[in-house]
Chain A
Amino acid sequence: MSNLLAARSLMAMALGFHIIFAIVGMAMPLLMVLAEWRWLRTKEEVYLIIAKRWAKGTAIFFAIGAVTGTVLSFQLGLLWPRFMEWAGPIIGPAFAIEGFAFFTEAIFLGIYLYGWQKVSPRAHLAAGGVVVISGIVSGVVVVMANGWMNTPTGFTLLNGLPSNIDPIAALLNPSGLLQAPHMILAAFAAAGFAVAGIHAFLLLRQQGNVFHQAAFTIALTVGCVSAILQPLSGDFLAKRVADFQPLKLAVFEGQVHTEKGAPFRIGGIWNSEQEAFDYVLEIPYALSLMLHLDPQGEVQGLKDFAKENWPPIGIVRTAFQIMVLIGLIMMSLALWAAWLAFKKRNVFESKTFLKAMVLATPLGFIATEAGWVATEVGRQPWVIVGYLKTAEAVTPMPGVIIPFIFFAGLYTFLTCIVIWLMWRHVLASPTQLDMMRNVKEAKQA
């Protein structure tokens, strides 16, 4: 493995690992706050128990999110020093804002987790609210920084180096502005569906358990609202990619030659010898219609661009398709849930629906990983599109393969432990009988 490939793989692994924990750390506080708020409103103890249960699980994810995030902020420099030298002064301020968001997040999470007895219920709920907001802020800011790598703005190039820097313009770059809401929605959709899926599984085993019913309803609501908005936001984002990174879009959509009235293509395997996709299913005019609201609109093909600037086509397109497919599945499930809520007035009676939700548990996470692979691998060979190539940014230190192997081992180990702990967490969830006892205890406390 070359040094560059090792560095890219290490970066991809570290980011792909962090994002799972970041999603949970962003979305779970909202679910907890909603449950606690229901408790304050209705005084039904079951909601309090849910909030406390979720808080325990979240704390593990949060801690791992924090330490893996720390790895990343060092790794940016350890692996991509030339990139940081270039980009630090431009997008660095974004990370400074993120730093303070981390502070408030960690401070108020500490109060939330350990302060049940120490502050008033309102102050406690408010602390949860601050965690939600600062989590979202840190997610937004870091994704905007990533957007800048796709559409770099806020500087001019002078003698090969950036000058006339404008950090605000850099932060408010065109890609970032739309990537950020898409990512936040992804976090809520993924976590909402995952939590709902787990409670659906337990509901199937223990019918009528009010704990799981209430938890399922809260998680499902958050997941479904986001899942319905997600394809919409993805559509906006795709139009932006078409404007600013036409080559990337051509790869996403499998558009080889520039054409008017382009069809939307489903499936297909990239044949690098023929430079064409085999086995594609085409929906005539659909792509032109989607991008330009005009069936005859022109879509640029990847042959218009120098071959040396093509990203790895097969990976990028496959990842993109997986994301979109999952997006459509999740949206359909959300609409199904809405229909059940409207028609039957509850969402946990239908066994078929519960089973479908169990199957959907990991979907949001898979879509998120796929979306990031599409975005990041689709950006190759650039690290800052149009300005700096990934190969120029990599560290001169040889032997990056060694930390890669080490971190692969470390992260595999952590993954196994987290899964095992969550399994214990699920097994320890209260049965109907426990529930009644817990309610009594909670009342006495």
Chain B
Amino acid sequence: MMGYEATLAFVLLVSLTFYALMGGADFGAGVWHLLARGSSRRDQHRLIGDALGPIWEVNHVWLILIVTILFTAFPKAYVQISITLHIPLTLLVIGIVLRGSAFAFRHYDVKDDEIHVRWDQLFAISSLISPLLLGVIIGAMTVGHFPVNSESFFQGYVSPWIQTFPLILGIFTLSLFAYLAATYLLLETNNAQLQEIFRKRAIIAGLVVGFLEEAVLILGKSGAPQLWGELQYSLWGACLQLGVGGFAIAAVWFLLTRRYWWARTCAILQVTMTIWAWGIAQFPYLVPPDLTVFNAAAPEITLQFITAALFLGALLLFPSLFYLFRIFKGGQKAQHE
């Protein structure tokens, strides 16, 4: 039986996975919006808008859940992260505000005219900001060693995240989300031309992801030695790495052979295992070397209470989510299976 601390850390990891797989892909779709070229540009935009419309707000709530669990169950860590990473967190929410507002302005307006191009641009550009910063924040938490009572502003609030490892993790996160989005969009359309476009993009993105994944690992050796050690010198670390690599190759293979449903499944598994490899290697630290899920935890009663709330909430949430996705995402998938 896992203790409450470990259980809640696990729930955090699961929520982060859902956020990446769902909310992350919505940001990734924004990247493809920005990169849309060629004669089918408008169709690409429409595809992206239609795919996001009914679900992006739901997907976004995963992030809110993560923040909530963090400040309820691990208040000391939330506080330290909020103080030290004030700047990237603020930039992250600015990206979120701009992306969401621009999407709403564009899609829920009563008229359809020129100004919509502007909202589209704002939507696409702001979709870049948040994944980048999310990666930077997670990277900074991985490197850890947050300064206490630092002397200068730079030391206290800037240098913990302006470092190679967090920055490369930011770029990696962005590419991961774009990759996911491309494999999803393939299954959202029946138009062969669009599928061909997103197939190519998915393949390229898949290769970029693979390359960056290696870069992250190599930089991790000096940047986040604790993470690197866990991944390199443990059996499960090796297994997870093999799994990630295997699914990555499989996904590209299925893309090349046009088996999209399989490609998407492999991409999902690849991303999931990537996040879990990070999570397991990071455990039990929230911010090494001082804050762990054990010493940052709230009193037992709070942990019990929130675990119960999460359990009951999940009973409500998953059937509802299933219903939503069946209504809006059911049709296309069936045709491709």
With A68-B97, A93-B305, A103-B320 as known contacts, state yes or no: A110 contacts B54, CB within 8 Å. Answer: yes
Whether A99 lies near B61 (C-beta < 8 A) is yes
Selected contact of B64 from candidates A68, A73, A118, A417, CB within 8 Å: A73
Q: How far is the CB of A228 from chain B (nearest CB, A)?
A: 33
Cβ-defined contact, A108 with B71, below 8 A = no
Instruction: Take A77-B71, A78-B86, A118-B327 as given contacts and tell me if A421 and B109 are in contact as well, using a CB distance cutoff of 8 Å.
Output: yes
CB atoms of A410 and B97 under 8 A apart: yes
Say if the beta carbon of A76 comes within 8 Å of chain B.
Answer: yes
Chain A positions 102-151 with a Cβ under 8 Å from a chain B Cβ: 102-104, 106-111, 113-115, 118-119
> Within 8 Å of chain A (Cβ to Cβ): is B302?
yes
Q: Which of B91-127 contact A (CB under 8 A)?
A: 92-94, 96-101, 103-105, 107-111
**A contact face: mostly helix, strand, loop, or mixed:** helix
Chain B interface extent, by class: 35 or more
Say which residue of A113, A167, A397 sits within 8 Å of B305 (CB atoms): A167
Q: Are A95 and B54 in contact (CB under 8 A)?
A: no
Contact of A110 among B55, B98, B104 (CB under 8 A): B55
- Asked if B78 is at the interface of the complex by the 8 Å CB criterion, the answer is yes
Using Cβ atoms and an 8 Å threshold, which residues of chain A touch B306? 92-93, 96
Tell me, yes or no, whether B162 is within 8 Å of chain A by CB. no
A397 touches B327 (CB 8 A): no
Would you call B57 and A99 a contact (CB within 8 A)?
A: no
Interface contact B72-A73, CB-CB below 8 Å: no
B233 within 8 A of A: no
Residue of B nearest to A67 (CB): B100
What CA separation (Å) do A62 and B65 show in the bound complex?
Answer: 18
> When the two chains form their complex, are residues A85 and B76 in contact, meaning their CB atoms are under 8 A apart?
yes
Closest to A56 in B: B108
| A424 interface neighbour in B54, B103, B110, B156, Cβ under 8 Å | B110
Interface residues on A, range: 35 or more
CA distance A399 to B86 in the complex (A): 11
Q: Is the CB of B64 within 8 A of A78?
A: no
Taken together as a complex, chains A and B put the C-alpha atoms of A259 and B97 apart, in Å, by 51
User: Which residues of chain A from 386 to 442 have any CB-CB distance to chain B below 8 Å in the complex?
Assistant: 395-399, 403, 406, 410, 414, 417, 421, 424-425, 428
Given A78-B86, A89-B298, A166-B301, check contact A107 B324 (CB 8 Å). Answer: yes
| Contacts of A79-107 to chain B: CB distance below 8 A | 81-82, 84-85, 88-90, 92-93, 95-100, 102-104, 106-107
- CB of A191 within 8 A of chain B? no
Q: Does chain B have a CB within 8 A of A71? A: yes
The answer for the CA separation of A100 and B308 in the assembled complex, in Å, is 13
A166 CA / B299 CA spacing, docked (Å)? 10
Write out, one digit per residue, whether chain A residues 53-85 have a CB within 8 A of any chain B CB (1) or not (0): 000110110111011111101111110011011
Interface residues of A in 215-266 (CB under 8 A from B): none
What residues on B are CB-neighbors of A399 within 8 Å? 153
In the complex, B313 has a CB within 8 A of chain A: yes
Contact A66 to B71, CB < 8 A, known contacts A90-B302, A424-B110: no
A57 CB contacts on chain B under 8 angstroms: 108
| Chain A 149-175: CB-based contact to B (< 8 A → 1; otherwise 0) | 000000000000001011110000000
Q: Considering the chains assembled together, what is the distance between the CA atoms of A56 and B110 in angstroms?
A: 7
Task: Given the known inter-chain contacts A63-B104, A96-B310, A166-B301, please indicate yes or no for A70 contacting B63, CB distance below 8 A.
Answer: yes
With A110-B328, A424-B111 as contacts: A63 and B305 at CB distance below 8 Å: no
Report chain B residues within 8 Å CB of A64.
100-101, 104
What 1/0 flags go to B285-329 for Cβ under 8 Å of A?
Answer: 000000000000011011001100110010011001101100110
Chain B at the A interface: SS class: helix
Residue of B nearest to A417 (CB): B105
Residues from chain B with a CB closer than 8 A to the CB of A75 are 93
B272 at the interface (CB under 8 A from A): no
Q: Mark B72-87, 1 if CB is under 8 A from A, else 0.
A: 1101101101110010
- Residue picked from B57, B58, B90, B309, most chain A C-beta under 10 Å: B57
Which A residues touch B305, using CB under 8 A? 93, 167-168
- Flag whether B60 is at the interface (Cβ < 8 A): yes
Decide if B100 touches A63 in the complex (CB within 8 Å): yes
Alpha-carbon gap, A102 to B323, bound state (A):
16
Cβ contacts B128-160/A at 8 Å (1 or 0 each) = 000000000000000000000000010011000
B69 at the interface (CB under 8 A from A): yes
The 8 Å CB contact of A77, one of B82, B103, B110, B317, is: B82
Report if B53 contacts A (CB, 8 A).
yes
- Residues of the A chain whose Cβ atoms lie less than 8 Å from the Cβ of B69: 96
Given A67-B97, A84-B79, A397-B83: A92 and B53 within 8 A (CB)? Answer: no
Partner of B328, one of A99, A118, A165, A410: A118
A425-B110 in contact (CB<8A): yes
CA–CA, A414 to B111, complex, Å?
Answer: 18
- Residue from B86, B105, B313 in contact with A397 in the complex, judged by beta carbons closer than 8 Å: B86
Excluding A63-B101, A167-B305, 11 further A-B contacts by CB distance (< 8 Å) are A60-B104, A69-B64, A70-B63, A70-B93, A74-B82, A81-B79, A89-B302, A96-B309, A100-B316, A107-B324, A167-B302
Could you give 29 example pairs across A and B, Cβ below 8 Å? A66-B100, A71-B96, A71-B97, A74-B89, A74-B92, A77-B79, A78-B90, A88-B78, A89-B72, A90-B302, A92-B72, A92-B298, A92-B302, A95-B72, A96-B69, A100-B313, A100-B316, A103-B321, A110-B53, A110-B58, A111-B323, A113-B54, A114-B53, A114-B328, A118-B327, A167-B301, A167-B302, A168-B305, A410-B98
User: What 8 pairs between A and B have smallest CB-CB spacing?
Assistant: A92-B72, A63-B104, A77-B82, A89-B298, A100-B313, A88-B75, A67-B100, A110-B54
